[in-house]
Structure formats: C-alpha cells, structure tokens
C-alpha cells in the first residue's frame, strides 16, 4: 500500500529528507552529500509509494526487498527509513558516530530496522539482488527486489557478471535503478572511465532498459510501475539525476561527491533547498 | 589404530554430504561455477535439479548471489576451486557474506599441492589463511572423504553463519568412519603419545598417523591430533598437548604462513610457548607433477614428518640431559 499518491505530499517528504541529509552530514563531519541529495526524490517515491512494506514490521515476509548497493548514500536511505516510520528521525543526527545504528555505510549488525543488506563495497549489490530474486522465484513469492546503483559503480566488472546472470535466470522480479548523474569522485564518468553506451550494454545483456527524470516524482513512479509490470526479464531504470540536487550552488559539482557541508553552510544550504523545491 | 579402508577423493565426501543435506533440508540449494562435476556438486544437481543454479565462470557473482539466496531464506552452497572462492571473490565473501553473517557454505575444492599436474595456478595454498581472518567465518578442513561428508553436514547443522569447507581432488586414504563424531571446533586425539605431538589437518593427518606408527618402532611415542576445524580452533587440546609432550610439529598442505601452523602458534604463544616445527609450503608456489611426486618434493610425506619429529625429540633429550 503506498503511503501516498499525492505528488505535493511526496515533494514535501523529499524536502524534509534533503534537509535532514544536509543537517546529518554536517553534524557527522564526513560522508557523501552529492549522491544523497541526488537520490532524495527516488528514495521518497520508493518509501512513500512504490515499495510494498510495513515500517512497523521490518521483517514482514511479503515486503519488497530494497538492496542498496551504493552504501555511501546511506544518509538519504536512513532519512527515507526514518520519515517513513522505521525509527525516530531524531536518531538521524547520530550518523557515523561511535555506537550509532547509523553506520557510515549500512551495517545490519548495528540493529537499524529496514536494512536488508550491509553493503558499501561497490559492485556487490546486484549479485546479491540476483540471488535474492532467485530465492523469491523458487518459493513463488510475490515480492520484488529493487536494487540501487551508481553510474560509476558500473565500472566494476562484477556488475556485469551479475547482469549476465539476471537475464540468464529470467529474473522478472528484479528492478535495478542506476543513479545516472554522470559524475564520480575523480570527475566526470567520461573522463574517469567511459561507461556509455549504457542502454546498448544492458540491452545486449538481456535487460529491458527504461529511463526517467530522477527528480520528477510522477515520472519516477510511473517508470517503476512499468518496470514491475514487465514480466519478460530484469529491468534497469536509468534515472537521470543531478548530484547535489536542490542546493544550486553545488549541483553537478563532482567535488561534492564525498564531502559534507560545513556547519556554517547548513543554514544557507537549507535556505536554497526551500527556495528550489 | 587407524587402517586404510580405501583411496577416495575428499571431494566425493563433499558431494555425498551435500546430497544428504538436500534430502533432509528443502531450503539447501547449490550454486555451480561451471566445474560442477570436478567439485562433486553434480551429485546434488542430479538429485535436485530445481535447487541447483548455474552461474558460469563468475566467482564474484556466485558469492554475492549466494548471499542473496541466504537473505531469501535458503542455505546456499557456493562451490568452486579453493583458489577462486578464497581469492578471486574475497571481497564478496568478506562483505556480502561475512559482514552480513549469512549462512552461506563455501566449498573450497582442489586444496593443496596434491592437485598435481594443473600446477601452481590451481593449487589452493593460501585459502586457510584468507578464510580464517574473516570475522564470523568457520573454517573446516576435514582429513578424509568420510570426514568431509560429516563436515559438510555439520556446516549446516552446527554452524549458523558462513562456513568454508576445504577438500581435495585426488584419491587419498579414507580411514575414519562415520562413528567418529564430528564436532565443529573440537580437535580429535587420534593417537595418544607423550614425547612429541603432531597436529595435522586435511589429508596430512593420515601422513601424520603413518609417521607416528613408524616412530613407535624407534621408541618415540607420538601423539597425533586432527584439527579439522581451523576456526574456531580447539585451544584446549593444543595447550594440553604442549604441556604434556612439550614439542609440537604441525603438518598441512598450505603455506606455513597463515595456516594451521600459525593458528597453533597463536594459541601457544599466549598460553604455553613451546617449540613448534611447521610442515607445509615454505612461502613458495607449487608446480606440475604427479601428486605423490609433489608431496615428496615439497616435503609433505609421512617420512618428512617423521624426520622432523626425530629431530625435535633429539633436541628435547639433549636439553633434558644433565651436563
């Protein structure tokens, strides 16, 4: 059951999530701001609309499984979990601190509800999603597996081993999403290691490729619905996003991949978020 | 006294154990990496075709996918050669399997130099070292085909988290029976002795027993311990042996750095430091040859073990002799 179909409401949640991402990372003093802001609209749509889940029953058997392969965007993941009801958003301010359930990269053993997989070493999540989807099919489960990837992550060879196996096993219960923001730590993907032509690559690996504007809530939801309805095999959504989305002064600047705002920047960034919503 | 029943590859024990698990537990599944018959997963595959999944020659993916199966409530066996499961896919084993503490059982086939003519690339000689440093991982290294079957079953029935099961390619002496209970984490005292203790793992346990039997004729009373669980290691049996015999020889088909010898030394240095001689690969790669030729060349036979025991025993007597 979606928590809401109201686009204005979803936009409000996205704004709240972005504000938390800025505050939490400034408090933590380290972490990845760019991708977390860039994925805020997608995570909002997932946790408030797409996913079949029960935040008060994190182990509910019929839940959809979300595998976050790019653990470094943990701040947006945690904020989405908190705001959708998995835990009190006040806890978000413990991000990356000693003893916190909110590890720098998601770590299940610390007890935060809603984490399916401890992850953060790039290139592993798609393999795990493949195994999980196969287990689900074996037992004729109705849940789907949703995996989230970065575009830079596609440079990992293991992604393509997994992509090959997903179509070999005809996994029509697996929807991967690529955060297509064209940048990574060292700069543009095309300068670091070209990954295009992505559509051709995935299609030649036997995947259905869809794309959407990763900041347009209705488009994200409609694309996910289309992906879920595709029953011939695995689907990948190329979601075009802007790293740092919402804070105009940092948008698309790759230098913001892996750093937090300074405490004195928080107010200005939040003001920008409010103006740009 | 243990006697030779037959020569049998330990991988067959793995295949039989996996098949019997399949009969007992409907959630046991197996993942294959192309070499299904050479790692004996074919026994399971033929019996349970719907619970076998082919992943091709892609070891990183097979380990990640196994983690996914475990998240989905299955007990997956991901099996390939030890060199690949321990080394090619180490990061997947570390993060997706061990950090998540999932019940993935990893088969490490073609362990040791006795792989033979395939040569260095396929002889797993570092897998124990890699696997035993990973938190949450249990490392099993059974001594013959019969025990490999029991170890495989125990990896599911006695271990909740990830486990690595090491076994070999060649036919080696099969000398234990299913009556010898397999308890994960418990070393096995196979022969009593008071002069020197040989602590061995894998099929070198047979060589250690042969060395001990030979040395009886020279009035050297040798204790033989089988460490079939490298991790968690049985500290008590090792410490007791060190106190009662004073000298330890370790024997394994693995690099001496990081393997059984190191694990034993780590135990003794804390509790009762005694001299240890380590028999294994001396920081070197293997090569092609017949298994028995290689065991001879690299000093891994009962004769080599006996030599080390005699050497140590002489030193002990010299030290004990009053000047």
Pairing type for strands B188-191 and B222-226 reads antiparallel
Q: pLDDT tens digits for B198-216?
A: 999 999 999 999 999 999 9
Spell out which residues of chain A touch residue B100, defining contact as CB-CB under 8 Å.
108, 117-118
Q: pLDDT tens digits for A148-184?
A: 999 999 999 999 999 999 999 999 999 999 999 999 9
Q: Do A128 and B68 count as a contact with CB atoms less than 8 A apart?
A: yes
> Residue B267 pLDDT > 90, yes or no?
yes
Domains and CATH numbers, chain B: 7-174 (3.40.50.970), 188-320 (3.40.50.920)
Distance CA B252, CA B273 (A): 20
**Average pLDDT of chain B, as a whole number:** 96
> What confidence tier does A3 reach under pLDDT thresholds 50, 70, 90?
confident
Cα–Cα–Cα angle for A189, A195, A199, rounded to 5 degrees: 130
Two tokens, residue A51: 């996913």
Q: What SS3 class is residue B32?
A: strand
Two tokens, residue B11: 């991988």
Q: Which residues contact A103 (CB under 8 A, 6 or more apart)?
A: A74, A96, A110
The domain spans of chain A are: 7-276
> What confidence tier does A229 reach under pLDDT thresholds 50, 70, 90?
very high
ipTM above 0.85, yes or no: yes
Distance CA A220, CA A48 (A): 12
Q: What SS3 class is residue A238?
A: strand
> Residue A220 pLDDT > 80, yes or no?
yes
Which of A198, A200, A148 minimizes the C-alpha distance to A177? A148
> What confidence tier does B79 reach under pLDDT thresholds 50, 70, 90?
very high
Mutate to test the interface with B, among A109, A127, A132 (most CBs of B within 10 A): A127
The residue-averaged pLDDT of A86-96 equals: 98
Spell out which residues of chain B touch residue A164, defining contact as CB-CB under 8 Å.
56, 58, 61
> Residue A234 pLDDT > 70, yes or no?
yes
Which of B274, B273, B280 minimizes the C-alpha distance to B305? B280
Q: Looking at the structure, give the CATH architecture of the domain made up of residues A7-276.
A: 3-Layer(aba) Sandwich (3.40)
Q: Do B69 and A135 count as a contact with CB atoms less than 8 A apart?
A: yes
Distance CA B173, CA B7 (A): 5
> What confidence tier does B317 reach under pLDDT thresholds 50, 70, 90?
confident
Tell me the residues of chain B between 48 and 107 that have a Cβ less than 8 Å away from chain A.
Answer: 50-51, 53-56, 58, 60-74, 76, 91-92, 94-96, 99-101
B91 membership: H or E segment, kind and range = helix B90-91
Q: What pLDDT does residue B63 have?
A: 98
State the pTM of this model.
0.97
**Average pLDDT of chain A, as a whole number:** 97
For A81, B3, B188, B223, the CA distances from B226, given in Å and listed in that order, are 50, 15, 5, 10
CA distance A201 to chain B (A): 18
Q: What SS3 class is residue B212?
A: helix
């Amino acid at each position: 059951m979606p928590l809401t179909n109201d686009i204005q409401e979803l936009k409000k949640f996205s704004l709240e999530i972005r504000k938390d991402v800025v505050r939490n990372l400034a408090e933590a003093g380290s972490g990845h701001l760019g991708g977390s802001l860039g994925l805020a609209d997608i995570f909002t749509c997932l946790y408030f609309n797409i996913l079949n889940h029960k935040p008060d029953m994190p182990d509910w058997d019929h839940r959809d499984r979300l595998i976050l392969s790019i653990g470094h965007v943990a701040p947006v993941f945690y904020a989405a979990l908190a705001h959708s009801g998995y835990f009190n958003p006040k806890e978000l301010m413990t991000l990356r601190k000693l003893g916190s359930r909110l590890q720098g990269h998601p770590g299940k053993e610390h007890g935060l509800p809603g984490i399916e997989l401890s992850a953060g070493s790039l290139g592993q999540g798609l393999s795990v999603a493949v195994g999980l989807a196969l287990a689900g099919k074996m037992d004729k489960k109705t849940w789907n597996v949703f995996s989230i990837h970065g575009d830079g992550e596609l440079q990992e060879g293991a992604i393509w081993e997994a992509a090959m196996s997903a179509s070999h096993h005809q996994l029509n219960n697996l929807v991967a999403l690529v955060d297509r923001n064209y940048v990574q730590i060292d700069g543009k993907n095309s300068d670091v290691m070209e990954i295009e032509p992505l559509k051709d690559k995935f299609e030649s690996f036997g995947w259905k490729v869809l794309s959407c504007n990763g900041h347009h809530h209705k488009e994200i939801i409609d694309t996910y619905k289309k992906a879920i309805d595709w029953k011939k095999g695995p689907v990948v959504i190329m979601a075009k996003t802007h790293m740092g989305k919402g804070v105009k002064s940092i948008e698309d600047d790759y230098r913001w991949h892996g750093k937090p705002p300074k405490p004195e920047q928080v107010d200005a960034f939040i003001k920008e978020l409010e103006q740009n919503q | 006294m243990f006697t030779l029943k037959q020569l049998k590859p330990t991988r067959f024990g793995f295949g039989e154990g996996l098949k019997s698990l399949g009969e007992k537990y409907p959630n046991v599944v197996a993942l294959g990496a192309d070499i299904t018959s050479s790692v004996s997963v074919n026994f399971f595959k033929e019996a349970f075709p719907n619970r076998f999944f082919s992943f091709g020659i892609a070891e990183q993916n097979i380990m990640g996918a196994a983690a996914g199966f475990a998240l989905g409530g299955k007990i997956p066996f991901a099996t390939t050669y030890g060199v690949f499961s321990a080394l090619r896919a180490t990061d997947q084993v570390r993060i997706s399997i061990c950090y998540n503490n999932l019940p993935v059982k990893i088969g490490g086939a073609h362990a040791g130099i006795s792989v033979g003519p395939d040569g260095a690339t396929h002889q797993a000689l570092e897998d124990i070292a890699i696997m035993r440093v990973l938190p949450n991982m249990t490392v099993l290294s059974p001594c013959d085909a019969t025990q490999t079957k029991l170890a495989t079953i125990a990896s599911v029935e006695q271990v909740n988290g990830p486990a690595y099961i090491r076994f070999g390619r060649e036919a080696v002496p099969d000398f234990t029976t299913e009556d010898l209970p397999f308890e994960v984490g418990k070393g096995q005292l196979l022969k009593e002795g008071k002069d020197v203790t040989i602590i061995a793992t894998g099929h070198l346990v047979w060589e250690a027993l042969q060395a001990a039997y030979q040395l009886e004729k020279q009035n050297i009373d040798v204790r033989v311990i089988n460490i079939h669980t490298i991790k968690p290691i049985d500290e008590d049996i090792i410490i007791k042996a060190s106190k009662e015999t004073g000298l330890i020889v370790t024997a394994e088909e693995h690099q001496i750095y990081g393997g059984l010898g190191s694990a034993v030394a780590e135990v003794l240095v804390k509790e009762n430091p005694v001299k240890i001689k380590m028999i294994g690969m001396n920081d070197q790669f293997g090569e092609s040859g017949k298994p028995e030729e290689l065991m001879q060349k690299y000093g891994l036979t009962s004769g080599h073990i006996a030599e080390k025991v005699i050497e140590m025993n002489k030193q002990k007597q010299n030290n004990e002799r009053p000047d």
